[in-house]
Amino acid sequence: MSKFAANLTMLFTELPFIERFAAARAAGFEAVECLFPYEWPAAELARQLRENGLTQALFNMPPGDWAAGERGMAAIPGREAEFRAQLPKVRDYALALGCTKVHAMSGLIDPAHSLAAHRQTLVENIRFAADFLAADGIKVLLEPLNSRDVPGYFLAHQRDALALVEEIDRPNVGVQLDLYHAQIMDGDLTRLIAKLGPAIGHVQIASVPDRHEPDRGEIHYPHLFEALARAGYQGWIGCEYHPSAGTREGLGWLRQWQSTSR
């Protein structure tokens, strides 16, 4: 049975962020995720989860200066201390929210350094983060982002993420498989899912090419849900898309897929 988590950064944006928890629950979601929770006190977010009977499936580590265009720092040489200094805050939020998965954004390639230096920085930083968070049962995920939406991002392909996870060699490190990004960069999604197998730590969905509701566009998600089940994935499926005409108005897919997966 597929289990869906509403991405509160992208869905229900007609409401203030704190009010989106109740809206997600009323719409039929049992879990939520978001990009960055740090603007709000962890205790208030935890209260929203508790009062609405929701699970926090995922959030991202701090990305650097998002408004200035930064998209993480895990792979950026020279920023190791900054990356590692954020880990206590990440742990505190994860524990307060009962969240066991965090996404470490790799960052945009710095032309002052070689790709090999970026890779080594990422491997060392993720090993450090994984070891820091392991005792609390928190998993660190790497997500490839497509080069159309995020040009210059260090990690763009799923098989590269898998190779990194294998090199990092920590039991609490996995791949965050966003099938929207994967279709744009890799395709052949059924075989890709089988290849990633137990390395899949979290899944996200949206339509391609427009990143709207997942029941439109060129991906047939019910088929991929079956492929994920065969690969052994039983976790949440994050709904990270831009509604085409209002969140509630476009949720027919959720009711249909929830009823057919029971």
Judge if the upstream peptide bond of residue 209 is cis by omega within 30 degrees of 0.
Answer: yes
Number of H helices, E strands in the chain: 10, 8
Distance in angstroms (rounded) separating the CA atoms of residues 259 and 262: 6
**Angle at Cα 176 formed by Cα 170 and Cα 180, nearest 5°?**
160
Look at residue 143 and give its three-state secondary structure. Answer: coil
Which of 70, 124, 226, 240 is catalytic? The answer is 240
Q: Catalytic site residue 143? A: yes
**Considering just the CA atoms, what is the radius of gyration of the chain in Å?**
17
Q: Are 186 and 157 in contact (CB under 8 A)?
A: yes
Which of 143, 166, 218, 226 is catalytic? The answer is 143
Q: Where are the strands (E) in 181-235, listed by range?
A: 200-205
Nearest-CA neighbor of 232 among 205, 195, 197?
Answer: 197
Distance in angstroms (rounded) separating the CA atoms of residues 180 and 98: 27
Known catalytic residues? Answer: 143, 240
